[in-house]
Amino acid sequence: MQYAITRAVSSSIGQCELTHQPRNSIDVDLARRQHAEYEQRLEILMCELIRLPEEPTLPDAVFVEDTAVVLDEIALITRLGAGSRRAEIESVSTALQSYRGILQIESPGTLDGGDVLVVGKDIYVGLSSRTNKHAVDQMRQGLERYGYQVHSLIVSRCLHLKSAVTAVSENTLLVNPDWIDSKVFERYEIIEIAPGETYGANGLRIGEAVIYPLEFPRTAERLEKRGIRIKFVDLSELAKAEGAVTCCSLVFTCCE
């Protein structure tokens, strides 16, 4: 059984944390409609949704990806880099306890799930404004017993590692080469985003399909030419909060 944890869009999302984008007005009702369509795509791809309620006082709470990294063996609960967001963690951790054992990042470590790319037994962690080396060291120590290799790399031109690179098949990565050094991923097949579609490197792989933003049609065409099945979604309002398709869910599998 495949599950996806999601959370309703907060009425206060307009007060979200921003690092690399200017603040623009967010239409909350439209953001909620777009999020509902995103959840429908998850259901089409056979995910059973675990919907968490709105957190009205936590503007970024819809971006549940940042609160945890769910592996086959264990759930790693993060310690968010923005102190204002740390109250988001408790409800996600509680939800995950029914499905996984829990490993917690502790102070002085900080980690956002958006900085973590898992490809098989390799885990790539972006050292960014939200994620630090202390967290990477804790990950190495805690995950070594499960056979994972944790690699770190610098992220400076975008919010999170997965703003610049995501997995779109078992051995294929979608990359913005202006934001990340593709040589780090030379063992994988690489698809580069189309010129001008700067934020187009974030896609959410579920099985043999990828949930992908409607806003980047030329990159989508590159994916389709490589045999990758696309399920389009419009998250343009959440993008104003530096959100993307991976940010809005935690997808994992459990054996029944």
- Catalytic site positions: 160, 247
In angstroms, the first-to-last Cα distance of the chain is 7
Alpha-carbon distance values, 251 to 65, 119, 226, 237, 254 (Å): 9, 14, 24, 22, 10
Helix, strand or coil, per DSSP, at residue 223: helix
Tokens for 230, please give them. Answer: 């696309």
State the Cα–Cα distance between residues 158 and 128, nearest whole angstrom.
8
| Closest listed residue to residue 105, CA positions, set 120, 118, 116 | 116
Residues sharing a CB contact under 8 Å with residue 244, sequence separation 6 or more, in sequence order: 162, 163, 199, 202, 213, 235, 238
Secondary structure (H, E, C), 7-57: ECCCCCHHHCCCCCCCCCCCCHHHHHHHHHHHHHHHHHCCEEEEEECCCCC
Tokens for 18, please give them. Answer: 């921003």
